[in-house]
Structures are given as structure tokens and as C-alpha cells.
Amino acid sequence: MYKYIIRRILVFIPMLFALTIIVFGLAQLAPGDALSGKSLADPNVDPEIYEQQREALGLNDPIYVQYWNWISSAAQGDFGNSLIFNGRSVMELIEARFANTLYLGLFSLAITIIVAIPIGIYSARKPYSMLDYGATGFGFLGLAIPNFFFGLIAIYVFSINLGWFPSQGTLSSPGVSGFDAFTDRIHHMVLPGITLGLAGTATYMRYMRSEVLDVLGSDYIRTAKAKGMSERNVLYKHTLRNALIPIITLMGFEIGVLLSGAVITEQVFQYPGLGTLFLSSVMNRDFPVVMAIALILGILILIGNLIADILYSIVDPRIRYD
């Protein structure tokens, strides 16, 4: 097992290296650079100034020189400074947002699982019941409604009209601390969390339903029932264990998606996370930030897959790695 994990991690390294080259190459291929957008914003500034800054930042160097400069300092853990956020370090920019995104991602994953799995199981046990139809309908609706639209409706109803939940940001004021800050944070995450988890909930629910149905129809379940095992035991000991395997794979992939795919939700709720930072950095050609985020997301997706593989072996004893 450990050998397997170490081997997997060793394979990561060349993959990440390839990733940096591809992302860097793509970032450089895009026309314009971080300063070209700035110059149009304020015509009172002499464009010569931006030319001097380009020179100082090394943006006029050949690509391979720029790449080398970047990778040699990145290898030492220094991701440099943002080109857009005048002189602010990339790590500092990412740090704050990363925590936000992580909280939101985990929160929405929790909502997803708490809602989706019980409903999925229930609709598999009572297929074609009212609740099953309702859940199926909800599933299609959840997959079909675009995130931003659902987010706006949620804000309109639950925040502006009913005033139950805050609609923007992560905290109600910079002053709150301690336990209050924790509950305040949760309170702020409810709407974006549900919005972000909506499509996931629908997917998980459908998966769960079909998996459980599948397993319930198999021979060993019939055997278990035949030998007089209680309904409850059949469900929890035999059915769920087997039905959960594909869900775990799904979750492994989901980790990367949750961290990177929240751009629109983050925007609507002005929730300062990695997604919006990534998007604005790409738009502004702020490549030190783009590279750092791409690298982090790459690592997380690889780790997510690794965790999924490890969980596999726990849930399914037939699977052994060595």
C-alpha cells in the first residue's frame, strides 16, 4: 500500500512539470500582456512608463528565459509577485482565497451528500413512488438550472425578500471573531453552498438510486434476504457498501471540480475564492498567479484521485494495491 502511494506521488512530479510547461506556453501565446490592459484604462499615463515596467519585470525577455526564471524560483517555493495587484505576492493572494474556496467546497459537498444519499437510497427502495418521481424531477431541474440563475433566485428570495441569509461575502463585518465568526461564516455559506451543490446533488442522487437498485437486484442480496437477515441489515451491511464504490470515484474527481469550478457561483455571491481570482488573472494575463493556481489545482486533482483509489481498497476488500 505505502509503496503504491509513493509510486503514485513520484509519477506526479513529471506530470506537474509537464503541466507547468503547457500552462506557461498557453499563457504566453495569448496576445497582450499584463500591462497592455492597464494602459487603456488611464490615458493620462505616458505609455513609455509601461514600457519601462515591462523591461523591469522581464516581460520583454524570451519565453524560455521567463520560464526558467519562474520555475527556478517556484522550485524554491517563491511564486513571485502578481503583475496586476501591484507588487503583492502570489502566495499571499492565494492563501486567503484558498481557505474560502476550501470551506465552501467542503460545505457544499456535505450538503450534497447529506441530501443526495438518503434520497437516492429511499427512491431506490421505493421506486416509482411519489418521492421517487419528485426526486427524479428535482434531479433534472437541478441539472438543468444554470448556477448563476439559481444563485440569483436564491438571493432574491432568501436574502432580499425574506432576509434569512446574507447574499454577499463570507462574513458580515471584519470585526467578528471566535465562535461568532464560525456561525457567521456558515450563515454566509448557506446560499452559495446550496447553489454550488445543486448540480452535484442531482448527480449523486441519480447515481445512488441506480446503484442501489442494481445491487438490490443481485443474487447475494436475495441470498441474504432468504437467510432471514433483517431489511435494515441487508441495506446497511450489504447493499450500501457495494453501492458506494462509484460514488467514491465521483467524489475523488469532484474535489478538483469543487475548487476550480465555482467561478460563477463565487461571482454572484461575491465570495472571494480561487475561482474568481483564477478567472481575473487569466483575463489580465497575470501569469505568476495563473501558474501558481494551475499548479495547486493540478496537485489537488491528483491527490483527489489518489484518495479515491485508497478509499476504494477500504470499501472493497477485493481491491489490493501493491
What's the min distance (Å) between Cβ of 138 and other proteins? 5
Query: Exposed/middle/buried for 159, CB within 10 Å: 0-12, 13-18, 19+?
Result: middle
Cell representation of residue 153: 433566485
**Residue 230 has which C-alpha cell?**
433483517
Cβ at position 20, least distance to other proteins in Å:
22
Distance CA 133, CA 299 (A): 40
Task: Please tell me the number of Cα atoms within 13 Å of 74 on its side-chain side.
Answer: 23
Interacting residues toward other proteins by CB under 8 A: 30-33, 36-53, 56, 84-89, 96, 115, 118-119, 122, 131, 134-135, 138, 141, 152-157, 159-163, 167-171, 173-175, 267-270, 272, 283-285
CB burial class (10 A; 0-12, 13-18, 19+) of residue 217? exposed
Using DSSP's 3-state secondary structure scheme, residue 292 falls into helix
Asked if 90 and 289 touch (Cβ cutoff 8 Å), the reply is: yes
Q: Could you tell me which of 130, 109, 267 has the C-alpha nearest to residue 199?
A: 109
Query: Which residue lies nearer to other proteins by CB, 33 or 254?
Result: 33
Q: How far is the CB of 107 from other proteins (least distance, A)?
A: 17
> Could you give the CA distance from residue 158 to residue 137 in angstroms, rounded to a whole number?
22
The residues that bridge with 89 in the sheet, in sequence order, are 81
Q: Which of 273/304 has CB closer to other proteins?
A: 273
Which CB atom, from 5 or from 141, has the smaller least distance to other proteins?
Answer: 141
Nearest approach in angstroms of CB 23 to other proteins is 17
Q: How far is the CB of 269 from other proteins (least distance, A)?
A: 7
Q: Of the two residues 122 and 207, which places its CB atom closer to other proteins in the complex?
A: 122
Shortest separation between residue 91's beta carbon and other proteins, angstroms:
13
Q: Which of 50/321 has CB closer to other proteins?
A: 50
